[in-house]
Structure formats: C-alpha cells, structure tokens
Amino acid sequence: MAKRQTLLSVDALTKDYTMPGGNPVRVLDQISFGVEDGEFVTILGPSGSGKSTLLRIIAGLVTPSSGEVRYLDQPVSGVNPHVAMVFQSFALFPWLTVQENVELGLKSRGLSVKERHERSLRVIDMIGLDGFEGAYPKELSGGMRQRVGFARALVMEPDVLLMDEPFSALDVLTAENLRRDLLELWLEKRIPTKAVLIVTHSIEEAVYMGDRAVILSREPARVLAEVPILLPHWREREDVRFVRLVDQIYQTLTARPVAADSVFARGRPAPVPAVRAGSLTGMIELLDDLGGSTDLYRLADELNMDLEDLLPILEAVEMLGLGRVREGDAQLTETGRAFAQATVLRRKELFRDTALTNVPALAHIRHQLERHPQHRVGAESFLELFERYYSAEDSRSQMETLIDWGRYAELLAYDQETDQIYLEAETADPKAVPGSA
C-alpha cells in the first residue's frame, strides 16, 4: 500500500486544568498521534478521560498547556480552519429553521446568498432531512436534530470531520440508523471530507466504524495503544473477528493497575500497621537467618519482645507479600527470601514493586504525585482521606508509616518544612514505576 499522507497530527499535547480549590490537575499527558488522508480514526477512552478536551484542542477551541496541533505538518494556532465539529448535544438555535441553522457557519465564508442556499439544501437533502428545511428544532425528533448537527458541520466541507460522541444522546435504533447513514456517505465518498476523527466510549462503535482506534487511559489521558481495525465494511457484530477485536480493545482499556485512584472511593482502605521500614527489614533478615521459617514464640524470645509488639511487624511483612504467619509459624515468601539476600538497591526495587501492588494507599499517593504537574502534594490532603475512615490519631500514624515506606522505596520524598510529599526529579518519570500505565 502506498504511503499515505499525514493530514492532521497532535504532538505531545498536555492539558492542565486548575480546580476550584486552586490545584492544577493534568487531564491530558503527552498525547501524540496522526490521522492520515482517507482514514477514519476513533478515539476511545473512559468517560471523563479527556476526550472532549482533546477534540476541542484539535478544533482550536481550547488551548493546550503544551504541545501542538499540526495540519499537513504546519502548526495550527487559533481556530482550526480545516475541521468542523459535531457535538454530542444538538445545540441548535431554537429560533432558527433547519436551513437557517445549517447556513449559519457559511456566513463567514464570503458566499453569495444563492450559493449558501444551494449548499445547505444539498446537505440537508443528503443527510435525510429533505422536506424539513423550514421546520424549527422543537418540531424535530432527537435523531433529526442530530442530523441537523451533522448537516451544520458537513456544509462547511471540512477536510477533517471531528465528532464528539455524536450518537450517545440518541436511542439505540436512531443511533444505529445515523451511524449507517454517515458511514455510507463516507465510504461512498459522497462528502468531500478527507478524514474523520470520532471520539467515543463505545468499543463496538469504534470497531464498527473505524480504521484504527487510539485508546486512551484516564487521569491523566495517555495513549495506551493504537489498534488497527482492518475488517472490510460492512461489519457484522456477530463476526468472530469483530468479537475478537472488541475483546482485545476491552483488555487494553482495562489492563491497568488496580485503579489506585479509587482506593478511597471504594471505602475504608486496609489499615497499614505502624511499623518502620527499618523494623521490617530487620525482621526479614532475622527470619532468613533462622532458615526462612520459625515458631512465633521462638521469634519473640530471640528478639526479647512481647508477641503483641511482634505481631504488627509480621502483619506488615505479610501485607507486603514478603512473609506470612501460619499455624503459629512465621515464614518468608519467595520474594521475602529474595529480599533478605538482595543488595541494598535491589531491596528497594523489590520493596517498591511489592508495595505498589499490595498497598493501595501507597499506590494512590504515588499516582497522585505523578498526576500533579509539579509532582508535589500537601500531606494534609491525603490525611483528610484517611480521616473519613479512621481517627485523627490513626490517620496520622498511617500517613507516617506510608511516608516512611515510600521514602525507603524511593517512591516519594517528604519535605518536613512544608509538610509536602513530592517526587524527586530522577524518580518522577512514571515509566520508571512498574505497573503504572
């Protein structure tokens, strides 16, 4: 196949929004992809992931915090003249007729009244609204209003048609009809559009319509994968190849670490025993010296400790997947033994991996730090989350433990002066952390 020309591309787009409390939150992080001439590209991502923001940036309606949009390799600034957008909600002017709504955008194009009429009537006819030119929006069904939305974009004859979940406000049958009609216009080249970029949260819609799916993660949105969809049109949802693609994309979308972000949304997080990393490593070394497994009473004796004081340490070792207590015996896991025998650096790596997997609260803190543009968050904001479920004293103790573990594993740093948790420059690269998408 001949190399096709890249029509539109986005290069390392990043967008931060300032929240009402003044905190910046990163919504898009370094998004890059291209759209080729003749291509129908879908952008798939969970609700709230930043898809509308991305499309608005491409249309030039929102300014990115960094990165750029390019058209035929030239940077585009301001409103992008090569695109037109179909929105999810119809947003028609109720006091204008169908034809007047459709013609509106043409006024800035310097066309004669006659030309405007001709062009709009042609598009109205093409989109299946023939006979409704003089109707007002309130006289139309939802499906027909959205057809006006399409007509309004198509009459501009954009090179790239942008669509933001254009079928999601419609009932199933109406959506399916409109999808088919649009795809037919595109496949039969009845519209001069050179490329289509549609945002959706429906995997089936993406596989039904597109040539390629760009899959976004959330909080912040990053490109997780680009999946080519090479099935010939018209596609059948029952086709095994269709089902397989849907399944593959579903796995990509969900193959993320335990949604660290929702730790607190799901309820009380598991309490973290108040044990310093130093005590943990000491315990693991001792257990290893004792052959990797020993009777609890012997252990208490060896350490000259009460069982009561010993148990939280073992609980922490267990929580981290480094050991377990079974029938009065304390024993190390494989990872625990590997840890005991590892170098200092390797120990930190093992601890980092196991802590991110097994201690959701710590994964949550790390995740928030990565999301934050300055990679710096007040410890107080995490404390508040704990205080929804624990006493003030227990919350503080858990935060202290998590900070201590996080510092030991070099997952985070802590500034006592400002009570802020932050990422040190060399550990701020999220790619350096296993399991963070």
The residue from 6, 23, 30, 52 that contacts ligand ADP (CB under 6 A) is 52
For residue 49, the partner it binds in ligand ADP, Mg ion, none, with Cβ less than 5 to 8 A by kind, is ligand ADP
Closest separation in Å from C-beta 389 to ligand ADP: 24
Q: Give the count of beta carbons closer than 10 Å to the beta carbon of residue 221.
A: 26
For residue 27, the partner it binds in ligand ADP, Mg ion, none, with Cβ less than 5 to 8 A by kind, is ligand ADP
The site that binds ligand ADP (CB under 6 A) totals a number of residues, namely: 10
Cβ proximity to ligand ADP: between 49 and 101 the closer is 49
Q: Is residue 168 near Mg ion by the rule CB under 5 A?
A: no
Closest separation in Å from C-beta 163 to ligand ADP: 12
Instruction: List the interface residues with Mg ion, window 317-346 (CB under 5 A).
Output: none
Closest separation in Å from C-beta 427 to ligand ADP: 26
Q: Is residue 220 near ligand ADP by the rule CB under 6 A?
A: no
For residue 34, the partner it binds in ligand ADP, Mg ion, none, with Cβ less than 5 to 8 A by kind, is none
Task: Show the binding pattern over residues 52-71: x = contacts Mg ion (CB under 5 A), - = does not.
Answer: x-------------------
Residue that is written with structure tokens 């480094």 in the block: 322
Closest separation in Å from C-beta 50 to ligand ADP: 4
Instruction: List the interface residues with ligand ADP, window 10-49 (CB under 6 A).
Output: 17, 27, 45, 47-49
Cβ proximity to ligand ADP: between 47 and 108 the closer is 47
Closest separation in Å from C-beta 48 to Mg ion: 8
Cβ proximity to ligand ADP: between 216 and 319 the closer is 216
Instruction: List the interface residues with Mg ion, window 36-55 (CB under 5 A).
Output: 52
The residue from 13, 14, 31, 50 that contacts ligand ADP (CB under 6 A) is 50
Q: Is residue 80 near ligand ADP by the rule CB under 6 A?
A: no
Closest separation in Å from C-beta 250 to ligand ADP: 17
Cβ proximity to Mg ion: between 52 and 65 the closer is 52
Residues near Mg ion (CB under 5 A) are 52
Residues near ligand ADP (CB under 6 A) are 17, 27, 45, 47-53
